[in-house]
Amino acid sequence: MARKTVSLSFTQVKYAKPKDKEYNLADGDGLMLRVRPNGAKSWLFNYYRPTPEKKRANISLGTFPPLTLEDARKIAKEYRSLLANGIDPKQHLKNIQKEQLRKKSQTLELVTRQWFELKKAKITDGYAQDIIGSLENHIFPKLGNQSIHDVNAPEVIETLQLLSKTGKLEMIKRICQRLNEVMTYATNVGIIKSNPLVGIRAAFHTPKTKNYPTLKPEELPMLIDAIYDANIRKVTRYMLLWQLHTMTRPGEAAGARWDEIDLEQKIWIIPPERMKKRREHVIPLTDQAIAILEKLREISGKFEFLFPSDIDPRRCANNSTANVALKRMGFKGRLTAHGMRALASTTLNEQGFDPDIIEAALAHVDKNQVRSAYNRAQYVERRREMMEWWSERISR
């Protein structure tokens, strides 16, 4: 008959004396207290591995103290439960450690940059830089090295409180949206089980809708005179006029390339990768717009861009160049480069032009995609008539 092991008592464990050689005190069912010659005590779990060979193995549970007899028994019980299900406790621990290391390596910044590689292929370069810049400045410094598995709503909200205190509610709105996209991506590819940041925007005030400052149609002559008479670089003057005549966004105008211009067809074709909605935009060029090109040819014809940077002519002018010029011209708070599009839209609507044609000229994507595709193909010539009227209206 097998000898039954008597369970250890707290007193036996506490007062077990060291000997010349290490020895074990059995608690039963594989749990043992090992006592070393130097007096150190540690818990071991001894078991037969659930393999055909049935080899014995030991797992170190921890030292006494701080691991108490009661806690050691709980761990041993968990291991026996694993063995009952054919699971090797030692391999189970290795798997847990491996999973912990994997999760720890999946930092918020790393996963965000994986998402960003996909995101930036669908948006303009300028917008891409705005997205990653906002996260690099306001999220990565505090949360970037944290495992994405540990990211939670309260912590993100706390991180964004500084922006909230400074009134940057629009920035908070954008960052919340971007973080939710990251978490949705992480969920879809199987990195995390669910998005922990759903609804975090509700923790902040909603930013008030703010339109770009713009002028009234009757103030157009004043603007044109200011552009022609301002003490600014020629390239900047032509950029402002080019944006006005073509009704484009600041980034689209600043990044215009010579190979996008088709003088034979009198059109400017902006490729999808440079458009906000990633859709090709065709702009009819008026005689006035072509006249600007002829003047620019003398300045930048040998370069890639119509409006090269004054620092490095191999690159295009900065998107903010037009805004800086307008501020120096006295329009701070009254007009922005983007607001010139609103000025054109208001003027043309007041003149009774077809709103659909105006929207097509502004490259606003129609919600009805079929209709939108039809419009782009059919409206070019009708838009040309409108653009010619507009160019005449803003000429000096």
3-class secondary-structure state, position 24 = strand
Q: Scanning the structure block, which residue is given the tokens 């208001």?
A: 346
Q: Are 383 and 357 in contact (CB under 8 A)?
A: yes
Catalytic residue among 178, 281, 338, 376: 338
Catalytic residue among 142, 364, 384, 393: 364
Does the annotation mark 92 as catalytic?
no
Phi, psi (degrees; rounded to nearest 5) at 47: -155, 165
Catalytic residue among 149, 341, 376, 383: 341
Q: Rounded to an integer, what distance in angstroms lies between the CA atom of residue 190 and that of residue 84?
A: 31
Does the annotation mark 276 as catalytic?
yes
Q: Residue 341: CA atoms inside 13 Å, Cβ hemisphere, count?
A: 21
Catalytic residue among 34, 73, 237, 249: 249
Catalytic residue among 36, 74, 374, 396: 374
Does the annotation mark 77 as catalytic?
no
Q: Rounded to an integer, what distance in angstroms lies between the CA atom of residue 179 and that of residue 182?
A: 5
Query: Cα–Cα–Cα angle for 380, 381, 386, nearest 5°?
Result: 95
Does the annotation mark 374 as catalytic?
yes
Pairing type for strands 261-262 and 56-64 reads unpaired
Count of all residues that appear for the chain in the document: 396
Catalytic residue among 168, 276, 334, 393: 276
Phi, psi (degrees; rounded to nearest 5) at 79: -70, -40
CA 332, 333, 338, 343 torsion: positive or negative? negative
Does the annotation mark 297 as catalytic?
no
Enzyme catalytic residues: 249, 276, 338, 341, 364, 374
